[in-house]
Amino acid sequence: MQNSSEGWENRRRFLRWLMASPLLAYSGLSYGSVGRLLASGGQDGQRAAETIEKVRQDADLITKPEQALNVMDFEAVARKTLPPAHFGAIVGGVDDDATVRANREGFSRIQIRARRLVDVQKIDMSVRLFGTAWDSPIILAPVGGQKAFHPDGEIAVAKAARSKGHLQILSTATSSSVEAVIAARGVPVWYQLYPTNVWNVTQALIKRAEAAGCPVLVLTVDVEGGHNRETAERFARMDSRNCDTCHGSAQNRQNGFLLRRKPMFEGLDVSDVTASDPKFMNWDFVKRLKDLTTMKFVIKGIVTRDDAQLAVENGVDGIIVSNHGGRGENSGRSTIESLPEVVEGAGGKIPVLVDGGFRRGTDVFKALALGAKGIAIGRPYIYGLAAFGQSGVETVLDILRRELQTIMRQAGTTSVDKITAAYLVDRSR
């Protein structure tokens, strides 16, 4: 029989394992609450550990993409495959991950009103964005450093997007050049911009994307306030590798070390460059950026009616409703709940897209019904990438498209333009 100190040490080891497990999401516990259990050692912690241990024992990891029943199946494989620090970089949010959870919980407050006796033999999921037709409203959101999740990184994602006909948005922090990604994709991708504190460097990034053929520039504005990514830090502390070789010391990271390793910064002097500077983030800066390029100009990170109206007034061409997947702010408010007021603020003058917490075709349906013209996914395809490379990404897209087609048939909507708010009931009102 174990003595009390041995028993508690075993529970501590288990809870540390739990911190690295996507099963936490299914347990009803938050990362913050698990951290408190680690410190307490009480009976509640023991009971929680026993409950989740049973969940863990019942869970079977898929061994090939076609075994996946839904996109969440890839998360468990990614956790097993990736080093803790890399998994932590994508799975968590800020503070106690409240906004990450809110992004998922927001969908549960919206129900779908299904219509019957409609001929749904033919379903049209196509959409048009800035004059280009896409077979599906599902978009691959910008995620930086994808080679941290699979050796083929953004190239594998581009090939999957090409195979399945989806729009791809490339991050400034890409681990493959925009030229290489476009070559793999076969058509131009959109380019997401993190402006730097040095205008000439920001200008060079924009000009390079434009020269490569990118038709749309996506300015991200939701990370300027800084962030406290506790979950990522907890996972990093569990990682026994010496990461300084790849990422540099903390001091080097402040002096452009990471930027020098990013393909989009090749040939640029980044010795005094930081990835962003709050003093630049205002509407005057937006105008300055717009005047610099002929690309369509989209702002990613708008979550209120007021800012949507300002975006229209300042000549912005489109909006992505986003809270960075809960990784940029801890408002505790989901993007699906922010979407209606942003659509109202845009007034039909510019397209509104959305990301944040989308895991099901029904989630996509709800966003389309609330006025979104496109829905971007991030974590799901990254989990697919980490688990199985290009085929994992392709299967994630297949599953979401299949689920969207199913709910469109169940609801009696034969095309995306027929999906309206009349098909929803908002339980929060």
Catalytic residues: 324
Length of the chain: 429
Helix-strand-coil percent breakdown of the chain, rounded to 5? 50, 10, 40
Q: Are 136 and 127 in contact (CB under 8 A)?
A: yes
Exposure of 266 by Cβ count < 10 A (0-12 exposed, 13-18 middle, 19+ buried)?
A: exposed
- Report how far residue 256's alpha carbon sits from residue 306's, in angstroms, rounded to the nearest whole number: 35
Cα 18 from chain centroid (whole Å): 22
Q: Which of 101, 168, 132, 11 is nearest to 356 (CA)?
A: 101
Q: Are 181 and 212 in contact (CB under 8 A)?
A: no
- Which tokens hold the place of 10? 């075993």
- Report how far residue 350's alpha carbon sits from residue 348's, in angstroms, rounded to the nearest whole number: 6
As a dihedral over the C-alpha atoms of residue 288, residue 292, residue 298, residue 300, rounded to 10 degrees, the angle is -60
| Single-letter amino acid code for the residue at 125 | M
> Phi and psi of 24, rounded to 5°?
-55, -35
List beta partners, residue 350: none
Q: Which residues of 211-234 are buried (b: 16+ CB within 10 A; e: fewer)?
A: ebebbbbbbbbbbbeebebbbbeb
